[in-house]
Structures are given as C-alpha cells and as structure tokens.
Amino acid sequence: MFNLMMRNSFLLRGKLKKETFDMNTSIHQFREDCEKGAARYAKIPEGITVKEQNIKGIKSEWLIPDGANSEK
C-alpha cells in the first residue's frame, strides 16, 4: 500500500501526471517538497539532536543521539 502511494503521490496532490526533472527544475523547490513529504510520514525520534552545519558551502545536518561521544 505504501509503495503504491509513493509511486502515485502526484495523484494525491491533485496532479494528473508525474513531475518531470530537467535543467529547469528548481533544486530548492524539490528540496522543500521532499522536506514537506518527509514531515508528513516521519519524525525525528526522541533523543536525537539535529545539528545544522555548513561544510565548504554545502548545507549539512548531523544527527546526534543523546549520550554520544562528542569526540567522534
């Protein structure tokens, strides 16, 4: 059932055909859409801290469990 929903999610959003990706596709908009979808289906578990970091101009996130060794 989940697989069917994921493959046909464009129908659930009221669109008749899948979105196509090409050189004009907005990566920023794609990222936002992915984040919205993830927020609906998954949550960060309790005891996990998300630490945002910028590494050489690339946005990244560290997922740190409570009690983790900060030296690693």
Q: Are 12 and 5 in contact (CB under 8 A)?
A: yes
Q: Is residue 70 part of a domain?
A: no
**Residue 2 reports pLDDT greater than 70:** no
Q: Is residue 71 part of a domain?
A: no
Q: Is residue 72 part of a domain?
A: no
Per-chain mean pLDDT for the chain: 84
The residue range of the domain holding 30 is 2-65
Q: Looking at residue 23, what is its pLDDT? A: 86
Overall domain count for the chain: 1
The alpha carbon torsion through 26, 32, 65, 61 (nearest 10 deg) reads 30
Structure token pair of residue 21: 């990706």
Query: Of the candidates 61, 12, 14, 62, which has an alpha carbon nearest to the alpha carbon of residue 40?
Result: 12
C-alpha pair distances (Å), 25 with each of 10, 18, 20, 29, 62: 16, 13, 8, 8, 27
